[in-house]
Amino acid sequence: MKSLGLDIGGTGIKGAPVDTANGRLLADRFRLLTPQPATPESVADTVAAIATHFAWDGPIGCGFPAVIRGGVAHTAANVDPAWIGTNARELFSRTTGCRCAVANDADVAGLAEMRFGAGKDQQGVVLVVTLGTGIGSALFTNGHLVANTELGHIELKGIEAEQWAAESARGREGLSWKKWAKRVDKYLHRMQEYFWPELIIIGGGVSKKYEKFLPLLTVETEVVPAQLRNEAGIVGGALVVAEEVG
Ligand code: BGC
């Protein structure tokens, strides 16, 4: 089956048609800047522009950086507050004229990793952690997703973990890799204490620089970088609509 996978982020919205049987992109990905302010209407217009670019009239699946239940956004940690209460699935279906599905961005990327990447055939509990502007989480047990876990918002050092240990904190505070890795390590220790995963997969853009920080981690759980890198959101988005997850 073919579907258009879209990865909606704070700075860019990218998409490509995907063969959901093997996770392969069927065309080069196309990226547009996220409109500012990223209101529901302006983001929906950008989603429609990407569908038009591919002359697409099939199913569309999107990852979006918020809690999404039944197509409705329930949080807006790093996106415009106007999203709270918006039915993203209905809005995107209306503006594109296509059947759409929407799910949390980390859940979407996690699905792609579990199906085609670092978590393929992995049994037991697997935690996917995406390090970017925020910290996203996707929790799996025997390949089944527990959606919307939002584990980037646990408290660490008296603040939300994502404000202290996300990739954005490294840039904002000018932290060395070593200092930042210590923070990530502390976060992963906490995750280990709570969930005892068999495997932790680190996603997000920074996962391509994994050799700078993964060797510095002391957590006992096996930690590996995501394999699909910046395609995980697109491939996972395509899976979400193909399998009616969102
Ligand atoms: C949001 C999550 C999202 C994560 C990564 C967090 O701030 O609350 O929904 O998955 O950022 O984008």
Separation of alpha carbons 35 and 44, rounded Å: 10
Find out whether the peptide bond into 37 is cis, omega within 30 degrees of 0: yes
Nearest CA to ligand 1 atom 5: 136
CATH superfamily of the 118-227 domain: ATPase, nucleotide binding domain (3.30.420.40)
Residue 5 near ligand 1, beta carbon < 6 Å:
no
245 has pLDDT over 80: no
Q: Which two tokens stand for residue 136?
A: 């996203």
How far is ligand 1, taken at its centre, from the CA of residue 202, in Å? 14
Residue 65 near ligand 1, beta carbon < 6 Å:
yes
Residue with tokens 């039915």: 87
DSSP state of 231: G
Residue pLDDT, tens place only, 55-84: 999 999 999 999 999 999 999 988 899 999
What integer pLDDT is reported at residue 246 of this predicted model?
Answer: 64
Q: Where would I find the beta strands (DSSP E) of 30-167?
A: 30-33, 60-64, 68-69, 72-73, 100-104, 125-131, 135-141, 144-146, 155-156, 159-160
Q: Helix or strand or coil: residue 201?
A: strand
Predicted structure pTM score: 0.97
Residue pLDDT, tens place only, 148-203: 999 999 999 999 999 999 999 999 999 999 999 999 999 999 999 999 999 999 99
2-107+231-242 and 118-227 in the same fold: yes
Residue 129 near ligand 1, beta carbon < 6 Å:
no
- pLDDT classification of 244: cutoffs 50, 70, 90: confident
- pLDDT classification of 210: cutoffs 50, 70, 90: very high
- pLDDT classification of 238: cutoffs 50, 70, 90: very high
Residue pLDDT, tens place only, 123-144: 999 999 999 999 999 999 999 9
Domain edges within the chain: 2-107+231-242, 118-227
How far is ligand 1, taken at its centre, from the CA of residue 132, in Å? 9
Residue pLDDT, tens place only, 31-54: 999 999 999 999 999 999 999 999
CATH class of 2-107+231-242: alpha beta
What integer pLDDT is reported at residue 156 of this predicted model?
Answer: 96
How far is ligand 1, taken at its centre, from the CA of residue 133, in Å? 8
